[in-house]
Amino acid sequence: MEEFITINASHAPDIFGPCDAYIKKIERSLKVSIVNRDDKVVINGSDANVRHARAVLETLVALRNRGNAISEQDVDYSIAMSMEEQQQEMLNLDKDLICHTINGRPIKPKTAGQREYINARRNNMIVFGLGPAGTGKTYLAMAMAITAFKNGEVERIILTRPAIEAGEKLGFLPGDLQSKVDPYLRPLYDALYQIMGADSFNKNMEKGLIEVVPFAYMRGRTLDNAYIILDEAQNTTPAQMKMFLTRIGFGSKVIVTGDMTQKDLASNVKSGLEVALKVLKNIEGISFITLTSKDVVRHPLVMKIVQAYDKYESRQKRSSSDKR
């Protein structure tokens, strides 16, 4: 079967990718041949494969026509969506704008899972975002928090995460409080700088309207009219998680993110995130969203790494169950 698709000549380099890398990936993945002939792209292969390849190219063309830069992740996800006959789903994602970075780059959900995560936050007071590294849990949470702050929906933003990864008590580290906790909070700072800009962030931080604090310093506070993000929640204990959730006051919005496969607690200590999943799952106003390897938006190799570890851990669990 042979089909043609017309691509704007000025957009073709973006859609074909550097050294035609995106087209080659579509050819390999869908077992078709794609040739750029004058102002038309010719697709050859079996009926089903050509139909899928055409759908992928049409989606990429539509995204580029809307002014989007095409990334390898867009190509990968478009291929996956074409296999599930859900190309329109990808185009719908592109309409859901959260905000722009300081450089004008739009922040939007890149996958169906990410859109579900964003919608859950719009419809619930507390959202738990679970999933592997690279799925955008923290970055999207920061974007939603900054948007709510700029729109006057909340009076301040509070960002926190446990500092347990170091395997050290903060008191034993050199320097004042800020220098002690900065290394553990750096991912949060990076996202803030990228979305807000350093000047705006620093001004709001000086006014106390944005706080980036270690989790240990949340005890005893009541948090009204704030957007609160607890990152790396798998490293909280059940008592700490309960303490945190009972600090939430009126007018506040909360996002808790975590990845149970990245737990740094001692093996005999239960995770507060794991317990919260069981205790709070049926409470109205609280939503649990699980992102998967399909939602990884970093380099495609990261998706493959996550999938490989998922398979390995599944085998380990089955092996342990068989021994019992």
pLDDT digits 0-9 by tens, 215-242: 877 777 778 999 999 999 999 999 999 9
Instruction: Quote the pLDDT of residue 284.
Output: 93
Mean pLDDT (whole number) for 190-195: 86
Evaluate if residue 111 carries a pLDDT over 60. Answer: yes
Q: Domain map of the chain by residue range?
A: 2-93, 100-319
Q: Tell me the pLDDT band of 133, cut-offs 50, 70 and 90.
A: confident
If you search the block for the tokens 């738990």, which residue do you land on? 128
Say if CB 194 and CB 201 are below 8 A apart.
no
pLDDT of residue 228: 94
Q: Which of 285, 268, 286 is nearest to 277 (CA)?
A: 286
What span, in angstroms and rounded, lies between the C-alpha atoms of 116 and 245?
22
The pTM score is 0.78
The yes-or-no verdict on residue 166 having pLDDT over 50 is no
Angle at which helices 238-245 and 272-279 cross, to 10°: 60
Residue spans of alpha helices (H) in the chain: 12-16, 21-30, 47-65, 72-83, 87-93, 112-123, 137-150, 177-196, 198-206, 238-245, 272-279, 300-323
Give 181 or 265, the one with higher predicted confidence: 265
The superfamily in CATH containing domain 100-319 is: P-loop containing nucleotide triphosphate hydrolases (3.40.50.300)
What percent of the chain shows pLDDT beyond 70?
Answer: 89
Write out the DSSP string of 165-178. GGSS-GGGSSS-HH
* CATH number, span 2-93: 3.30.1370.10
Residue 40 has pLDDT above 50, yes or no: yes
Q: Residue 119's pLDDT is what?
A: 93
The reported pLDDT for the residue numbered 118 is: 93
Structure tokens at 249: 């006051």
What pLDDT score was predicted for residue 105? 84
| 3-state SS, residue 108 | coil
For position 149, what pLDDT does the model report? 93
How far is Cα 45 from Cα 302, in angstroms, rounded to an integer? Answer: 30
Q: What is the mean pLDDT of the chain?
A: 84
